[in-house]
Structure 1
Amino acid sequence: MYFELKDKTADVLARCRRREQLCDRPLDLISSQDAAYGIQAIAEDLLGFERKGFALVGSSEPSRRILGLTKPVFSEIPASALIVGVKQFGLPPGAIGAQGEFVFRILRPFPEAGEAIDRASVASAVLGCHPAIGILGRRTRQSFVGNNAAIVDFGLHVATLCGPCADAIDLDRLADIEVNVFLFGDTVFAGSATSILGHPLEAVVWLANELSARGKQLKPSDFVATGSCTTILQVLPGQHLAADFGPLGQVDCIFS
């Protein structure tokens, strides 16, 4: 893809995200992961948003199957798309669905110089954990599949809706949590924290490795959304969705 095509794609996607519009831009011409993340970074810079952390998508096998991914992808989270305590959310055009996920708050720079990137070191860098509902969507009318198309389209991230932070939770026991999702009060599906790469903290391990390979690190007060521990549920305006994370708490939202 020529440089001008990369810049034009980033510009179109940034405008569509800002205006909550869809475009006809083809995303199947992107030949490499590096090019895809490069376009994503240009689009994020064009948006000029305050950055609050990172969102993973495709961290569980069921979500990858639904989204046409072969591995997880990530994007930065705009401040306007990280919402704590929301009770109503307007679905934009191109919305794919909602998922139950964990959101970690980072305490310190991670990894520090020479620090190993593993579950134990990640646990020492986490300040707290939120139950959350992740909203996924596209900025294109056509549903392009594949890792590179998803990366360019802001990792398919729309918003992260967080419940209250649990700062006294035993991080080692997160894998024991079963998540139940309710639509209008009826259980529609259940999920397990272990579906996220075996343990929710492994999502942060994966992300930290990806960032480190690019010469970056997590910063204090960053939020990391782990990706789905449940299937991705199509949601419509007027529906009330709630997710119960057991000892971690609950989060719910009415969509409009």
Structure 2
Amino acid sequence: MLETNVRHWADTIVTARRNGWLLDPISDVVSLTLDEAYAIQASVLSSRVEHGEQRIGWKLGYTSLAMCEQMGVDRPNFAPLTDRMLLRDGAIIGDRVVQPRVEPEIAVILREPVSAGATREQVLAACAQTRAVLEVVDPVWRDYRFRIEDNTADGSSAAYVVVGPVLKGCDDLADVRVVLACDGRPVAESTGAAAMGHPADAVAWLATELAAHGGRLEPGDLIITGGLTAAVQLSTGTTVSATFGGQFSVRVSRSDSAAQALGGWCGSAPDSRAGA
């Protein structure tokens, strides 16, 4: 794909997101490779940065069988997170989303860099914190119809990350039980092992993939390691919550008022120097 075409599709995605428009997949129009999709993704990020956003981490998509089956995707992907995507626990989202769904995830915040080929043990040694989070996905593609290449170009549908409490005392993240609920009613459950067998293994995969694209995991990066259950719709007037390990919870709601403010993080990413 020519550089001018990469910019064209990136501008199309940016404009659609800004105006709340939905698009048909790029791959309906042209043949799109995964490398080309990552090039479009990088151009979208450049536009966000030009408009004042700062990259603060990364998201992983489709690291669990539940999400792959729900969306008909057969491989994981990754995308950048920016500071404007971060929300406080209990955030209320207004009319700035179009077709939002919510996934429970385990987030890792690094105190040290992680290089390609890292082991699970090396990732855990580089970790400053693990947190309970909810990801709000809101793809620009109409009716959630996309291929992995379209989803990658669109930043793996990333809209917001609701940052919950530190998972203190959770010795093995693979064993952490996660229960997802809508308006207090449990709708799905899983464990941390759903993310590629262990959230640290998902981070190790990301480190290797980033290296292949000229990037690196750095100290302070916040990484959300993939939806542990199928995503649920965030309808107007609904609250979606998740409980991790039976004691740590995080929630997000959607307002029926266009005037409702976002419960933003109001600052930089959570401090990676804090205790695990």
Aligned partner of 2:166: which letter?
C
In structure 2, do the counterparts of structure 1 residues 130 and 141 end up closer, same or farther at CA, with 3 Å as the change threshold?
same
C-alpha contact 1:136 1:156 (8 A) present in aligned 2: yes
Equivalent residue for 1:199? 198
Q: Distance in 2 between matches of 1:64 and 1:220?
A: 29
**Between the two proteins, what is the percent identity of the paired residues?**
24
Deviation track 1:173-214 (CA, whole Å, cap 9, x = no partner) reads: 111111111222221221121111111111101111101222
- Structure 1 counterpart of 2:3: 3
Aligned residue type for 2:197: G
- Deviations 1:144-190, CA, capped at 9 Å, x for gaps: 42210110111111111110223x4445x111111111222221221
Matched, 1:67 2:71: yes
Tell me what 1:243 maps to.
242
Letter in 1 for 2:42: A
Distance 1:185 1:161 in 2: 17
Partner of 1:104: 108
Residue 250 of structure 2: SS of its match in structure 1? Answer: strand
Question: Alpha-carbon deviation of 1:90?
Answer: 2.8
Kindly provide the amino acid, as one letter, of the partner of residue 152 in structure 1.
Answer: A
Q: Check conservation: 1:84, 1:164, Cα contact below 8 A.
A: no
Q: Which residue identity lines up with residue 33 of structure 1 in the other structure?
A: L
Task: After TM superposition, list the pairs within 5 Å mapping 1:46-125 onto structure 2.
Answer: 46-48=47-49, 49-90=53-94, 92-111=96-115, 116-125=117-126
| AA partner of residue 43 (structure 1) | V
Which stretch has the larger CA shift, 129-138 or 239-248? 239-248
3-state SS in 1 of match to 2:9:
helix
2:99, 2:152 → 1: CA distance? Answer: 16
Change (3 A) 1:87 1:43: closer
Look up the equivalent residue of 2:221 and give its one-letter code: D
Would you say the 8 A contact 1:129–1:169 is kept in 2?
A: no
Tell me whether 1:155 sits opposite 2:166 in the alignment.
no
Deviation (angstroms), 1:59: 0.8
Q: Does 1:225 align with 2:229?
A: no
2:229 aligned partner, one-letter code: T
Deviations 1:54-74 (A, max 9, x none): 011111111012122111111
Runs of 5+ unmatched residues, structure 2: 256-276
Over 3 Å counting, the alpha-carbon distance change for 1:26 and 1:2 in structure 2 is: farther
Conservation of the 8 A alpha-carbon contact between 1:106 and 1:128: yes
Question: Given the two structures, how large is their TM-score scaled by the length of structure 2?
Answer: 0.84
Say if 2:104 and 2:242, in contact at 8 Å, map to a contact too: yes
* Cα shift at 1:94: 3.6
Following the alignment from structure 1 to structure 2, what is the Cα–Cα distance between the partners of residues 95 and 106?
31
Distance in 1 separating the partners of 2:184 and 2:145: 34
Distance in 2 between residues matched to 1:143 and 1:190, nearest whole Å: 23
Q: How far does residue 235 in structure 1 lie from its aligned partner after superposition? A: 1.9
Distance 2:95 2:190 in 1: 23
* 1:82-130 deviation per Cα after TM superposition (whole angstroms, max 9, x unaligned): 223343123644424111101111111222xxx7511010001110011
Whether the aligned pair in 2 keeps the contact of 1:50 and 1:79 (CA below 8 Å) is yes
In structure 1, what residue type is equivalent to 2:4?
E
Aligned-pair Cα RMSD in Å: 1.9
